[in-house]
Amino acid sequence: MVIVSRLFPVFVVFVTSLFINGAAQAEVKVLTSIKPLQLIAAAVQDGVAVPEVLLPPGASPHNYALRPSDVRRVQAVDLLYWIGPDMESFLPRVLKGRTATTVAVQDLPGMKLRRFAEDSHSHADDADEHDHDHRPGSLDSHLWLSTVNARVIAARMAADLAAADPANAVRYQSNAKAFDGRLDVLDARLKARLAPIGGKPYFVFHEAFDYFEEAYGLKHAGVFSVAAEVQPGAQHVAAMRTRLQEVGKTCVFSEPPLRPRLAETLVAGLPVKLAELDALGGYTPATAQGYEQVLEKLGNDLAGCLESL
């Protein structure tokens, strides 16, 4: 009995310390709107926690329909990151009810932003239309495809996480620095990989890659912008085919998970290959290297098609 009585205070102190340390180490809940932001956050949180993402793979950030469970997640997390109203137009109304930290990364100081220009499309023979929701002068919100912007976003995430979780502040800052260093290596590798195809023409169905193209000396020859639910008329398809015939051997890139219904008709009988470019990387695992994997795959898929012509 004496031994038990002497050990009891020690046991209480031990249990209390576990409780206090557990509370101090409470995981900071991070939610991002789209996969690329989740991947940047995963690099910063590496070894501490795994961030969550709101949109499931294959969902469009332009017109996603929030479920009640999504709204609850938005309200519950400690830190929330999204691109901004030019991308996720479904979010502003829900975010009005949030009191915790919410960051629209398009507004961060240091971001290098692009706007859609009048001449951002090829209009030869009226073959191309303005990309839906990409009006001239409007913000090009596919900003995560620039490693310059990814660095800015990672630095802000590291600062926010360090403030919310001081016990791991050094880890977050170290992770952000390591991420920055890996992007230097990735930039050099992509420039070397893409330099040989810098002058080759290609077409896209969605003007989503301008940041990536600007960084690595590429430029699409045109945008075949067609709403997924609308089948264009025969005259419009003929104009598109004329444009492809003028260019000759080329690639036309769509984005997963859907390929426009007219794609096969458009290229039938022409020396044109259909391929995909995934700007979102929807199925990429949320690991420290996930963001780099998305950009590397984008470069390899682009170069692979053009090199095969």
Per-residue pLDDT band at 186 (split at 50, 70, 90): very high
Pick from 22-26, 206-210, 261-265: least confident? 22-26
The two structure tokens encoding residue 18: 């576990």
CB-CB contact of 62 with 86 (8 Å): no
Q: What is the pTM for the complete model shown?
A: 0.88
Pair 191, 216: CB distance under 8 Å: yes
Q: Which residue has the tokens 């290098």?
A: 112
CA 308 to CA 273: how far, in whole Å?
9
What pLDDT score was predicted for residue 127?
36
- Contacts of 86-92 spanning 24+ positions with Cβ under 8 A: 86/138, 86/139, 86/141, 87/33, 87/34, 87/61, 87/62, 87/141, 87/142, 88/33, 88/34, 88/61, 88/62, 88/64, 89/62, 89/63, 90/63, 90/64, 90/65, 90/66, 91/33, 91/66
> In which band, very low, low, confident or very high, does the pLDDT at 230 lie, cut at 50, 70 and 90?
low
Band (233; pLDDT cuts 50, 70, 90): confident
103 pLDDT above the threshold of 90: yes
